[in-house]
Amino acid sequence: MKVLGIESSCDETGVAIYDNRDGLLAQALHTQVDLHAVYGGVVPELASRDHIRLLPALIRQTLDEAGLAVADLDAIAYTAGPGLAGALLVGASVAEAMAMAAGIPALPVHHLEGHLLSPLLSDDPPAFPFVALLVSGGHTQLMRVSDVGDYELLGETLDDAAGEAFDKTAKILGLGYPGGPQLAALAARGRGGRFRLPRPLLHSGDLDFSFSGLKTAVLNVVSSPDWQPDWCADLATDFQQAVVDVLTAKAAAALKRTGLRALVVAGGVGANLALRATLDTAAGRLGARTYYPAPALCTDNGVMIAFAAAQRLARGEAPRGDAVIQVRPRWALAGLARPGASKPGADT
Ligand code: KG4
Ligand code: ZN
């Protein structure tokens, strides 16, 4: 079964073709980083326009690379949410129109389901059930994943997402957009321990997170009269350590609470090397293992969308087939239906 997947929820335009039998056949990815960098963050209207500009060419390129025509596809999948409404609508409209013209089903996919299933694409994939730590620019969640479409929310952030905290702190430190990778690079050059930053909700006894106070603590340090600009790298190191400590403690608590021995880490912040090293050690202490997507699949891409849809179709999901273009800018992952069931996803 050959599925073309389209990702357009934020600032990456991603297209890929995944075949249940032969694996990944082709992919194309365009990042809008340069477009938004001058504004210091994603401008939704510009994101939508750029998706419109590039999506047809990327689809053409992906089909050519796979040596396929639209008629050879079995389904077209697209990110239906969560994400920026206008950006999502571009992918949804193109996918639904192409599918209707070709007489094949279109499949709306949950963006976070794409992220958390992407480690299954590796050579050494985890087996169900596992704990998933989803750490992206918009979400920070711990889930119990029993199967494709069977997700139980264990805990989530009450305010900023981990990636958002990285991005906002990077801005405070005068780094460019996107801040996460730049802050991580600066942190690698700093020496930890100069600043005492909070570990929000570390001892809350639940699996929830809170990161907005941490960003404010960084702002207070930078605004103090004693602040010296050459402390930036040290502050980045201490900030990163605070985020890593909380994410690791909660992920370890989730492993203990569920009794599971596999931890999947997905989403852009999962690319952070300090986080990976600490999670690996903590999981190892519990006799558990960590699983990460390939580095290229950590941030947004079309492969994870094509793959998630292919998994659902292989498990008997019946696409709606009504060509209704509907996106869900906010969409709870735990509300998803298992493939084949008809429970609609709940909005949050
Ligand atoms: O999953 P993703 O590509 O997009 C969303 O769905 O949000 O995640 C993007 C987020 C951004 O906040 C970015 O700053 C962060 O992931 N990020 C990182 C690193 N690489 C990306 N944060 C910390 N360390 C990194 N190495
Ligand atoms: Zn994402």
117-121, 321-325, 344-348: which range is least confident on average? 344-348
In the chain, the percentage of residues whose pLDDT exceeds 90 is 87
Ligand 2 (ion): residues with CB under 5 Å are 136, 300
Tell me how far the alpha carbon of residue 162 lies from the centroid of ligand 2, in angstroms. Answer: 12
Residue 304 pLDDT > 50, yes or no?
Answer: yes
Q: What's the confidence (pLDDT) of residue 214?
A: 96
Residue 171 pLDDT > 70, yes or no?
Answer: yes
Tell me how far the alpha carbon of residue 266 lies from the centroid of ligand 2, in angstroms. Answer: 9
Report the b/e string of 71-105 with b at 16+ CB within 10 A. eebbbbbbbbbbbbebbbbbbbbbbbebbeebebb
Copy the structure tokens of residue 133: 């730590």
> Considering only CA atoms, which residue is closest to atom 24 of ligand 1?
272
Copy the structure tokens of residue 256: 């203990």
Residue 53 pLDDT > 60, yes or no?
Answer: yes
Q: What is the mean pLDDT of residues 272-301?
A: 95
> Which atom of ligand 1 is the closest one to the Cα of 112?
6
Copy the structure tokens of residue 233: 């790298």
Q: What is the mean pLDDT of residues 257-262?
A: 98
Q: What's the confidence (pLDDT) of residue 348?
A: 43
pTM: 0.91
Tell me how far the alpha carbon of residue 118 lies from the centroid of ligand 1, in angstroms. Answer: 15
Tell me how far the alpha carbon of residue 63 lies from the centroid of ligand 2, in angstroms. Answer: 24
Tell me how far the alpha carbon of residue 282 lies from the centroid of ligand 1, in angstroms. Answer: 22
For 290-326, give the secondary structure using H, E and C. EECCCHHHCCCCCHHHHHHHHHHHHCCCCCCCCCCCC
Tell me how far the alpha carbon of residue 70 lies from the centroid of ligand 1, in angstroms. Answer: 32
Q: What's the confidence (pLDDT) of residue 177?
A: 83
Report residue 347's pLDDT band, with 50, 70 and 90 as the boundaries: very low
Write the pLDDT tens digit of every residue in 3-49. Answer: 999 999 999 999 999 999 999 999 999 999 999 988 888 999 999 99
Q: What's the confidence (pLDDT) of residue 199?
A: 96
CB 4 within 8 A of CB 14: no
Q: Which ligand is nearest to the CA of 162?
A: 1
> Which atom of ligand 1 is the closest one to the Cα of 300?
3
Contacts of 277 (CB under 8 A, 6+ apart): none
Contacts of 227 (CB under 8 A, 6+ apart): 221
Report residue 334's pLDDT band, with 50, 70 and 90 as the boundaries: confident
With H, G, I as helix, E, B as strand and everything else as coil, classify residue 186: helix
> Considering only CA atoms, which residue is closest to atom 3 of ligand 1?
299
> Considering only CA atoms, which residue is closest to atom 14 of ligand 1?
180
Q: What is the DSSP string of 269-288?
A: GGG-HHHHHHHHHHHHHTT-
The chain-wide mean pLDDT, for the chain, equals 94
List strands edge to edge, sheet with 140-147. 150-156, 140-147, 130-135, 262-266, 289-291
CB 95 within 8 A of CB 76: yes
Q: What is the mean pLDDT of residues 297-319?
A: 93
Q: Whose CA is closest to 168, among 196, 194, 137?
A: 137
Q: What's the confidence (pLDDT) of residue 227?
A: 96
Pairing of the two strands 262-266 and 130-135: parallel
| Domains of the chain listed by start with CATH number | 2-116+298-335 (3.30.420.40), 127-292 (3.30.420.40)
Write the pLDDT tens digit of every residue in 64-118. Answer: 999 999 999 999 999 999 999 999 999 999 999 999 999 999 999 999 999 999 9
Q: Which ligand is nearest to the CA of 136?
A: 1
Residue to mutate (ligand 1; options 269, 275, 276, 298; most atoms within 8 A of CB): 269
Q: What's the confidence (pLDDT) of residue 345?
A: 45
Q: What's the confidence (pLDDT) of residue 339?
A: 87
Contacts of 107 (CB under 8 A, 6+ apart): 3, 75, 76, 77, 78, 309, 312, 313, 317, 319
Cα angle 127-158-126, degrees, rounded to a multiple of 5: 5
Quickly count: other Cβ atoms within 10 Å of residue 237's Cβ: 22
Q: What's the confidence (pLDDT) of residue 342?
A: 52
Q: What is the mean pLDDT of residues 206-233?
A: 96
- Ligand 1 site residues, Cβ closer than 6 angstroms: 10, 136-138, 163, 166-167, 178-181, 184, 267-269, 271-272, 299-300
Rounded Cα–Cα distance for residues 101 and 98 (Å): 5
Rounded Cα–Cα distance for residues 328 and 348 (Å): 9
Tell me how far the alpha carbon of residue 92 lies from the centroid of ligand 2, in angstroms. Answer: 16
